[in-house]
Amino acid sequence: MGRKTVVILEDFDIQDAHGKWRKSWSTPTGITGVYEQHRTLSSRRWNRINNRSNPNGCDQRKNPTYIGTQNHFADFNEFVEWSRNEVGYSLKEETIKGIQNWAIDKDILNSGNKIYSPSTCIFVPTRVNTLIISCNAARGEFPIGVYYISDKNRYTAECRTDKKSKYLGCFTDPMEAHRAWQKAKITFGRTVADEYKNFHRKLYKGLNSWCDNLQDDYDNCRETIKL
Protein backbone atom coordinates (compact mmCIF):
# COMPACT_ATOMS: atom_id res chain seq x y z
CA MET A 1 0.00 0.00 0.00
CA GLY A 2 1.46 3.34 -1.06
CA ARG A 3 1.81 6.36 1.17
CA LYS A 4 -1.08 8.82 1.15
CA THR A 5 -0.69 12.42 2.28
CA VAL A 6 -3.45 14.62 3.65
CA VAL A 7 -2.49 18.31 3.55
CA ILE A 8 -3.32 20.38 6.63
CA LEU A 9 -3.05 24.17 6.25
CA GLU A 10 -1.98 25.71 9.54
CA ASP A 11 -2.59 29.35 10.51
CA PHE A 12 0.62 29.69 12.49
CA ASP A 13 4.39 29.37 12.16
CA ILE A 14 6.59 27.09 14.25
CA GLN A 15 10.31 26.77 14.90
CA ASP A 16 12.41 23.63 15.03
CA ALA A 17 14.76 22.64 17.86
CA HIS A 18 17.46 24.90 16.41
CA GLY A 19 15.25 27.99 16.25
CA LYS A 20 14.73 27.85 12.49
CA TRP A 21 11.27 28.44 11.08
CA ARG A 22 9.72 25.31 9.60
CA LYS A 23 7.88 25.19 6.29
CA SER A 24 6.11 21.87 6.84
CA TRP A 25 6.18 18.60 8.73
CA SER A 26 4.43 15.23 8.59
CA THR A 27 2.65 13.24 11.27
CA PRO A 28 1.09 9.77 11.13
CA THR A 29 -2.71 9.58 11.34
CA GLY A 30 -2.90 6.14 12.90
CA ILE A 31 -4.08 4.71 9.58
CA THR A 32 -1.46 2.60 7.82
CA GLY A 33 0.17 4.52 4.99
CA VAL A 34 -1.73 7.76 5.66
CA TYR A 35 0.11 10.86 6.90
CA GLU A 36 -0.81 14.48 7.52
CA GLN A 37 1.49 17.09 5.99
CA HIS A 38 1.22 20.36 7.89
CA ARG A 39 2.04 23.50 5.92
CA THR A 40 2.60 26.72 7.86
CA LEU A 41 1.09 30.11 7.15
CA SER A 42 4.38 31.66 6.01
CA SER A 43 5.39 28.65 3.94
CA ARG A 44 2.29 29.06 1.78
CA ARG A 45 3.01 32.76 1.30
CA TRP A 46 6.67 31.98 0.61
CA ASN A 47 5.73 29.45 -2.07
CA ARG A 48 3.51 32.03 -3.81
CA ILE A 49 6.37 34.52 -3.87
CA ASN A 50 8.79 31.99 -5.31
CA ASN A 51 6.27 30.79 -7.90
CA ARG A 52 5.67 34.33 -9.08
CA SER A 53 9.41 35.04 -9.13
CA ASN A 54 10.29 31.97 -11.22
CA PRO A 55 10.99 33.07 -14.83
CA ASN A 56 10.36 29.52 -16.02
CA GLY A 57 7.25 28.95 -13.93
CA CYS A 58 3.61 28.84 -14.94
CA ASP A 59 2.74 32.04 -13.03
CA GLN A 60 4.84 34.20 -15.36
CA ARG A 61 3.67 32.28 -18.42
CA LYS A 62 0.00 32.72 -17.55
CA ASN A 63 0.20 36.26 -16.16
CA PRO A 64 2.59 38.65 -17.95
CA THR A 65 2.37 41.15 -15.06
CA TYR A 66 4.63 38.80 -13.06
CA ILE A 67 7.40 38.83 -15.68
CA GLY A 68 10.53 40.31 -14.12
CA THR A 69 9.35 39.69 -10.56
CA GLN A 70 12.15 38.87 -8.11
CA ASN A 71 12.37 37.62 -4.54
CA HIS A 72 14.85 39.73 -2.54
CA PHE A 73 14.18 38.24 0.87
CA ALA A 74 17.44 36.64 1.99
CA ASP A 75 15.77 33.35 2.89
CA PHE A 76 12.67 31.84 4.45
CA ASN A 77 13.80 32.68 7.97
CA GLU A 78 14.18 36.37 7.16
CA PHE A 79 10.75 36.32 5.54
CA VAL A 80 9.07 34.87 8.63
CA GLU A 81 10.86 37.24 11.01
CA TRP A 82 9.81 40.21 8.88
CA SER A 83 6.25 38.90 8.51
CA ARG A 84 5.65 38.49 12.22
CA ASN A 85 6.31 42.20 12.79
CA GLU A 86 3.99 43.40 10.04
CA VAL A 87 0.37 44.52 10.40
CA GLY A 88 -1.95 41.88 8.97
CA TYR A 89 0.41 38.93 9.46
CA SER A 90 -2.20 36.82 11.26
CA LEU A 91 -5.37 38.65 10.23
CA LYS A 92 -8.19 36.97 8.29
CA GLU A 93 -11.25 38.12 6.39
CA GLU A 94 -14.43 36.63 5.00
CA THR A 95 -14.43 36.39 1.20
CA ILE A 96 -16.61 34.73 -1.43
CA LYS A 97 -14.16 31.80 -1.21
CA GLY A 98 -14.47 31.54 2.56
CA ILE A 99 -12.27 32.79 5.40
CA GLN A 100 -8.83 33.74 4.08
CA ASN A 101 -5.62 35.13 5.52
CA TRP A 102 -4.40 38.51 4.35
CA ALA A 103 -2.04 38.28 1.37
CA ILE A 104 1.39 39.74 0.76
CA ASP A 105 1.45 42.67 -1.70
CA LYS A 106 4.41 44.24 -3.48
CA ASP A 107 2.67 46.88 -5.62
CA ILE A 108 0.68 49.20 -3.43
CA LEU A 109 3.63 51.01 -1.81
CA ASN A 110 5.24 51.54 -5.22
CA SER A 111 3.12 51.11 -8.35
CA GLY A 112 4.74 48.77 -10.85
CA ASN A 113 7.23 47.38 -8.33
CA LYS A 114 8.62 43.95 -9.25
CA ILE A 115 10.55 43.21 -6.06
CA TYR A 116 9.44 41.22 -3.04
CA SER A 117 11.50 42.52 -0.12
CA PRO A 118 11.13 43.79 3.48
CA SER A 119 11.03 47.41 2.28
CA THR A 120 8.55 46.96 -0.57
CA CYS A 121 5.92 44.59 0.80
CA ILE A 122 2.96 44.75 3.17
CA PHE A 123 0.03 42.49 4.02
CA VAL A 124 -3.36 43.44 2.60
CA PRO A 125 -6.88 41.99 2.71
CA THR A 126 -8.37 40.47 -0.44
CA ARG A 127 -10.74 43.44 -0.83
CA VAL A 128 -7.72 45.71 -1.37
CA ASN A 129 -6.26 43.39 -4.00
CA THR A 130 -9.65 43.37 -5.73
CA LEU A 131 -9.68 47.17 -5.67
CA ILE A 132 -6.24 47.72 -7.21
CA ILE A 133 -6.08 44.83 -9.68
CA SER A 134 -7.52 45.25 -13.17
CA CYS A 135 -8.30 42.51 -15.69
CA ASN A 136 -6.21 44.12 -18.43
CA ALA A 137 -6.17 41.06 -20.64
CA ALA A 138 -9.91 40.46 -20.38
CA ARG A 139 -11.26 43.90 -21.18
CA GLY A 140 -10.28 43.91 -24.86
CA GLU A 141 -9.78 47.08 -26.87
CA PHE A 142 -11.59 49.49 -24.54
CA PRO A 143 -10.30 51.36 -21.49
CA ILE A 144 -10.36 49.75 -18.05
CA GLY A 145 -13.88 49.50 -16.65
CA VAL A 146 -15.55 50.01 -20.04
CA TYR A 147 -17.68 47.52 -21.98
CA TYR A 148 -19.30 47.93 -25.38
CA ILE A 149 -22.98 47.01 -25.77
CA SER A 150 -23.33 46.33 -29.49
CA ASP A 151 -27.13 46.20 -29.69
CA LYS A 152 -27.33 49.65 -28.08
CA ASN A 153 -24.17 51.05 -29.66
CA ARG A 154 -23.29 52.37 -26.21
CA TYR A 155 -20.49 51.98 -23.70
CA THR A 156 -21.15 51.01 -20.10
CA ALA A 157 -18.90 51.58 -17.12
CA GLU A 158 -18.63 49.28 -14.12
CA CYS A 159 -16.54 49.61 -10.97
CA ARG A 160 -15.82 46.67 -8.71
CA THR A 161 -16.42 47.54 -5.06
CA ASP A 162 -15.63 44.83 -2.55
CA LYS A 163 -17.53 41.68 -3.61
CA LYS A 164 -19.64 43.07 -6.43
CA SER A 165 -19.57 45.30 -9.51
CA LYS A 166 -21.36 48.63 -9.49
CA TYR A 167 -23.05 49.81 -12.67
CA LEU A 168 -22.03 53.42 -13.41
CA GLY A 169 -24.12 54.21 -16.46
CA CYS A 170 -24.30 54.08 -20.24
CA PHE A 171 -22.30 56.45 -22.45
CA THR A 172 -21.86 57.30 -26.12
CA ASP A 173 -18.08 57.68 -25.81
CA PRO A 174 -15.67 55.10 -24.31
CA MET A 175 -13.50 57.78 -22.69
CA GLU A 176 -16.54 59.31 -21.03
CA ALA A 177 -17.37 55.90 -19.59
CA HIS A 178 -13.76 55.44 -18.51
CA ARG A 179 -13.79 58.77 -16.65
CA ALA A 180 -16.88 57.61 -14.76
CA TRP A 181 -14.94 54.50 -13.78
CA GLN A 182 -11.92 56.57 -12.69
CA LYS A 183 -14.07 58.82 -10.51
CA ALA A 184 -15.88 55.89 -8.87
CA LYS A 185 -12.62 54.02 -8.27
CA ILE A 186 -11.03 57.08 -6.65
CA THR A 187 -14.02 57.63 -4.37
CA PHE A 188 -14.15 54.00 -3.30
CA GLY A 189 -10.37 53.85 -2.88
CA ARG A 190 -10.34 56.84 -0.53
CA THR A 191 -13.16 55.30 1.50
CA VAL A 192 -11.30 52.01 1.87
CA ALA A 193 -8.06 53.84 2.77
CA ASP A 194 -9.77 55.69 5.61
CA GLU A 195 -10.77 52.37 7.19
CA TYR A 196 -7.08 51.54 7.76
CA LYS A 197 -5.89 55.01 8.77
CA ASN A 198 -5.56 54.28 12.47
CA PHE A 199 -4.02 50.81 12.49
CA HIS A 200 -2.27 50.19 9.16
CA ARG A 201 -0.50 53.38 8.15
CA LYS A 202 1.47 51.79 5.32
CA LEU A 203 -1.71 50.54 3.68
CA TYR A 204 -3.44 53.87 4.27
CA LYS A 205 -0.63 55.80 2.59
CA GLY A 206 -0.27 53.26 -0.21
CA LEU A 207 -3.96 53.34 -1.10
CA ASN A 208 -4.04 57.13 -1.09
CA SER A 209 -0.96 57.24 -3.31
CA TRP A 210 -2.70 54.81 -5.68
CA CYS A 211 -5.76 57.09 -5.69
CA ASP A 212 -3.53 60.12 -6.33
CA ASN A 213 -2.24 58.49 -9.52
CA LEU A 214 -5.80 57.83 -10.70
CA GLN A 215 -6.76 61.39 -9.80
CA ASP A 216 -3.90 62.73 -11.90
CA ASP A 217 -5.16 60.74 -14.89
CA TYR A 218 -8.70 61.99 -14.32
CA ASP A 219 -7.68 65.65 -13.91
CA ASN A 220 -5.67 65.53 -17.13
CA CYS A 221 -8.31 63.63 -19.14
CA ARG A 222 -5.82 60.79 -19.54
CA GLU A 223 -6.67 57.14 -19.88
CA THR A 224 -5.49 54.93 -17.03
CA ILE A 225 -3.50 52.28 -18.84
CA LYS A 226 -2.30 50.21 -15.90
CA LEU A 227 -3.20 49.94 -12.22
pLDDT tens profile 119-160: 999 999 988 988 887 555 445 689 999 999 988 889 999 988
User: Does 107 fall in a domain?
Assistant: yes
8 and 99 co-located in one domain: yes
pLDDT in tens, 31-69: 888 899 999 999 999 999 999 999 999 999 998 889 999
User: Does 225 fall in a domain?
Assistant: no
Domain boundary among 131, 162, 195: 131
Tell me how far apart the alpha carbons of residues 104 and 80 are, in angstroms, rounded to a whole number: 12
pLDDT at 98 over 50: yes
Domain boundary among 131, 158, 186: 131
116 and 139 co-located in one domain: no
127 and 144 co-located in one domain: no
CATH code of 50's domain: 3.30.40
The pTM of this model reads: 0.86
pLDDT in tens, 19-38: 999 999 999 888 888 899 99
What average pLDDT does the segment 165-177 reach? 93
Q: Which domain holds residue 144?
A: 134-219
User: Does 52 fall in a domain?
Assistant: yes
As for how many domains the chain has, the answer is 2
